[in-house]
Copies of this chain bind each other. A is one copy, B any other.
Amino acid sequence: MNIKPLGDRVLVQAIELEEQVKGGIIIPDSAKEKPQEAVVIAIGPGKRDEDGKIIPMEVKVGETVLTSKYGGTDIKIDDKEYKILNSSDILAIVVK
């Protein structure tokens, strides 16, 4: 089974906290809005600009990203948790 996000949406899988610590990024508990590390599983074709042309996506499948924690929609596929996000909820790419 396969999920194809629409528009500029992105399907991501959160990285477990233990892995996050090893990776070097820790989200402080006192942070007002906590971001979350996640891996990009699938991406939509992109939004259309005012002339109807597709704007290319900024992230690729397999990249690790920092996402805004409170955006998106949770789903569970084959017992694993995923999130569908808008592109604007992805803050940065993490290069290791």
Of the candidates B51, B55, B73, B81, the one whose C-beta lies within 8 Å of that of A35 is: B73
CB-defined interface of A42-72 with B at 8 Å, one 1/0 digit per residue?
1011001111110100110000001010100
**Nearest chain B residue, comparing its CB with the CB of A93:** B4
Question: What is the size category of the interface that chain A forms with chain B?
Answer: 35 or more
Q: What copy number does this chain have within its complex?
A: 7
Residue-wise, chain A 1-36 has the 8 Å CB interface mask toward B (1 for contact) of 111111101010000000000011111101111110
Task: Find A59's partner among B6, B53, B84 (CB 8 Å cutoff).
Answer: B6
Check if A1 sits within 8 Å of B31, measured CB to CB: no
Q: Which of B28, B51, B73 contacts A51 (CB 8 A)?
A: B51
Q: Which of B33, B48, B59 contacts A55 (CB 8 A)?
A: B48
